[in-house]
Amino acid sequence: MDINNINQFIEAWGAMGVLWGINRSMARVHAFLLAQSSPIDLDQVANRLHISRGNASMCLKELRNWGLIRRINQPGDRRDFYVIEPDVWNMFFRIVVERKKREFDPALHSLRYLLAEADLEKDKKIQARLEQMEEILSTANSIMNRLLSDTVKSRKMLDFLKNFTPK
C-alpha cells in the first residue's frame, strides 16, 4: 500500500468520521492505524498526521476507550505502542456498542422521564404519540441489548438475516 493511497484513505476516513460523530483527528488516527501492520508510537502518529502530540495523545486515549485500538509494549522500550483491534468484526461491534451508549440510551431515557413526569392527561393525542415512541424504542433497546451482549450471537444473527425475509 503506497503513501498516496494511505493518505487518501486517511483523509476519506477522517471526513467520514466527522459525518458519523467521531471527530476528524480521531478518525484519521484510526485510519492510519488500520493501514499499518506493525505497532506505532505516539510520535509517529503526530508526525505522520501533522497533529500535536497533545492531540495525538487524546485521540489514542479516546480510541482506546472505544475499544478500537490496543496499547502494547515492546520489551526494552519505554514508549507505548498502539495497534488496531485485530478482530475486524469485533471492531464494528465496539462502534455499535459505543454509539448506542452515547446516542440511543440517552434518547430513550429522556423520553421515559418525560412520560413519567409530565402531566399529559389533558392531551390524549400527544400522550398516545409519546407512548408509541417509547414502545418502539424499548423494543429496539431490548433487541440491541440481547445482541450486543454476545459477539458470536450477533455474527450469527447477521448471517441469518442475510437470507431472511419476513412474510
- Residues contributing to the site for its own copies (CB under 8 A): 1-2, 5, 8-9, 12-13, 16, 19-21, 34-37, 84, 88-89, 91-92, 102-104, 106-107, 110, 113-114, 117-120, 122-123, 125-127, 129-130, 132-133, 136-137, 139-140, 142-143, 146, 153, 156-162, 165-167
Q: Which residue blocks in the chain are alpha helix, DSSP H?
A: 3-19, 24-34, 42-49, 53-65, 88-99, 105-117, 124-148, 151-162
Of the pair 53, 72, the CB lying nearest its own copies is at 72
* Candidate residues 8, 52, 142, 145; the one interacting with DNA per rule CB under 7 A: 52
Contacts to DNA from residues 3-32, by CB under 7 A: 18, 23-26
- Is 36 a residue that touches DNA (CB under 7 A)? no
Query: How far is residue 46's CA from residue 51's CA, in Å, rounded to a whole number?
Result: 5
Other CB atoms within 10 Å distance of the CB of residue 46: 19
Which cell numbers hold the place of 69? 485500538
Q: With beta carbons less than 8 A apart as the criterion, state whether 104 and 141 touch.
A: yes
* Candidate residues 5, 16, 43, 74; the one interacting with DNA per rule CB under 7 A: 43
The minimum distance between CB 102 and its own copies, in angstroms, equals: 6
Residue 156's nearest CA partner among 60, 89, 100 is 89
∠ CA 104-131-122 to the nearest 5 degrees? Answer: 130
Contacts to DNA from residues 58-97, by CB under 7 A: 58-61, 76, 78-80
Using CB under 7 A, list all residues that contact DNA. Answer: 18, 23-26, 41-43, 50-55, 57-61, 76, 78-80
